[in-house]
Structure 1
Amino acid sequence: MQPLPESLRPTAERLFAERLELAERFVALLADQGPERGLIGPREVDRLWERHLLNCALMVDAIDPSASTLADVGSGAGLPGVVIAIARPDLQVTLIETMQRRTTWLEEVDAELGLGIEVVRARAEELHGHRSFEVVTARAVAALDKLARWTLPLVADGGTLLAMKGSSAPDEVEKAQKVLTTLGGVDPTISRYGVGEVEVPTTVVQVRRRAKATRKGDARG
């Protein structure tokens, strides 16, 4: 098991509160099975807390407290979807993942931790017009212009897309502006969470979807 560094405990306790033990159990599962199942690289085991768990948990600060449904696209190892489900048990969380071995892992984690997560094996595009969520999240999936085509049609009118990005965020927002507008995305903003709490704050691009937004396929080309 990878112990929580004491320097990060205050942040972890703020984000996970009484469910910190569940987060610790998830870290243990990732450390034990992640590398051998191809979910994380071997070098990531020693930095699971700062580079992955807390990095993802800080996204919770960007989620509207009144939101009730959230989908995580390209969930992979459960980052950030499982982490968000631990930190926000009031949310109905859906994990969307294309690979069978990863959906199997996510289902096993859900059963082990008792999170009540919905796991869907599908490409995001296959759910366009069939499912919608107040919040859609994604981490390290694709450049924002491509990601928007996959995810914004899943965002309910008035809902929010939260894309975890790095230093390229400003350039990606600029390049994706036309696609965002066509798909009904408005007011793209870039925010950093965890400043003063973690060494590398979490950068999140937030895009709101306006009412009566353009639907699937209107951003082709």
Structure 2
Amino acid sequence: MTEEQLPITGSFPEPSAEESAAAEAVFGAQLPAARGFVAHLASSGIERGLLGPREVPRLWGRHVLNCAVVADLMRHGTSVVDVGSGAGLPGLAIAIARPDLQLHLVEPLERRVTWLKEVIDDLSLSNVSVHRARAEEMVGEIAGDYVTARAVSALSTLAAWTIPLTKPGGEVLAIKGRSAAEEIEKARKVIRKLGGVTAEIVTVGTAVLQEPTTVVRIPVRTA
């Protein structure tokens, strides 16, 4: 263990009864890995400033489950590029829920990259690789059937980072909040110029989450 590595110590937030049922439905046999991810977030993730301590009670519902259900929009055996992975949200949550997917996490900050690699190693996630780079630096190096992002930037800026990393015929899946419709309106011209098709708002997790996840889906032209 290096000096920067921190063991998982103490207790970590248990899901509520509702969250527990959702976690079983979303993660299935991968639930132990999901619990391990939450433990890392609640310990070393907080210690290293990847999340604020006030987020600990909300790790299951607001963060991990909120992100993992985005995988419902992805076809079996496809590839995913996660831009601005930070604390592994949504990238690691998706990778745990869907071992059939191949995840590429793109994160420019070294301390976050170090943490992500430690978590991946500890949880033995063989379907994930981490790239220390800015999104624009990875164009031509990697491309995904899906490109994801959460809380990275406004859609008009995010489109320029994600669409070039999307395979022709693929989709950008950006987790957004109440401003999704307004962001789409502001980004329409940029999206079209970059090769995106009309963006739409989709909701996932309605069957298992009290607050379903809002996703802006941008199909990318095939040619």
Q: TM-score, length-normalised on structure 2?
A: 0.92
Is residue 104 from structure 1 mapped to residue 114 from structure 2 by the alignment?
Answer: yes
Q: 1:55 to 1:5 in 2, by over 3 A?
A: same
Provide the rounded CA distance (Å) in 1 between the counterparts of 2:14 and 2:96: 18
Provide the rounded CA distance (Å) in 2 between the counterparts of 1:206 and 1:26: 26
- What is the CA deviation profile of residues 107-152 of structure 1, one whole-angstrom value per residue up to 9, with x for unaligned ones? 0001000002110000000111232111100000000010000110
Question: How far off is 1:94 after superposition?
Answer: 0.6
Bigger mean CA offset, 71-80 vs 187-196: 187-196
Provide the rounded CA distance (Å) in 1 between the counterparts of 2:222 and 2:204: 27
Measured on the aligned residues, the alpha-carbon RMSD in Å equals 1.1
Partner of 1:185: helix, strand, or coil? Answer: coil
Give the match for residue 168 of structure 2: 157
Work out the number of aligned pairs and report it. Answer: 211
Q: 2:34 aligns with which of 23, 26, 30?
A: 23
Provide the rounded CA distance (Å) in 1 between the counterparts of 2:78 and 2:203: 23
State whether residues 152 and 209 of structure 1, in contact with CA within 8 Å, keep that contact through their aligned partners in structure 2: yes
State whether residues 76 and 102 of structure 1, in contact with CA within 8 Å, keep that contact through their aligned partners in structure 2: yes
Partner of 1:167: helix, strand, or coil? Answer: coil
Provide the rounded CA distance (Å) in 2 between the counterparts of 1:83 and 1:7: 18
Is residue 134 from structure 1 mapped to residue 138 from structure 2 by the alignment?
Answer: no
Give the match for residue 217 of structure 1: none
Question: How far off is 1:67 after superposition?
Answer: 4.7
State whether residues 145 and 180 of structure 1, in contact with CA within 8 Å, keep that contact through their aligned partners in structure 2: yes
Is residue 80 from structure 1 mapped to residue 112 from structure 2 by the alignment?
Answer: no
Partner of 1:138: helix, strand, or coil? Answer: strand
State whether residues 194 and 202 of structure 1, in contact with CA within 8 Å, keep that contact through their aligned partners in structure 2: yes
Is residue 36 from structure 1 mapped to residue 47 from structure 2 by the alignment?
Answer: yes
- What residue identity is the alignment partner of 1:150? W
Provide the rounded CA distance (Å) in 1 between the counterparts of 2:140 and 2:41: 34
Q: 1:115 aligns with which of 109, 113, 125?
A: 125
Give the match for residue 191 of structure 2: 180
Q: TM-score, length-normalised on structure 1?
A: 0.92
**Identity of paired residues, percent?**
51
State whether residues 162 and 204 of structure 1, in contact with CA within 8 Å, keep that contact through their aligned partners in structure 2: yes
- What residue identity is the alignment partner of 1:137? T
Q: 2:21 aligns with which of 7, 10, 31?
A: 10
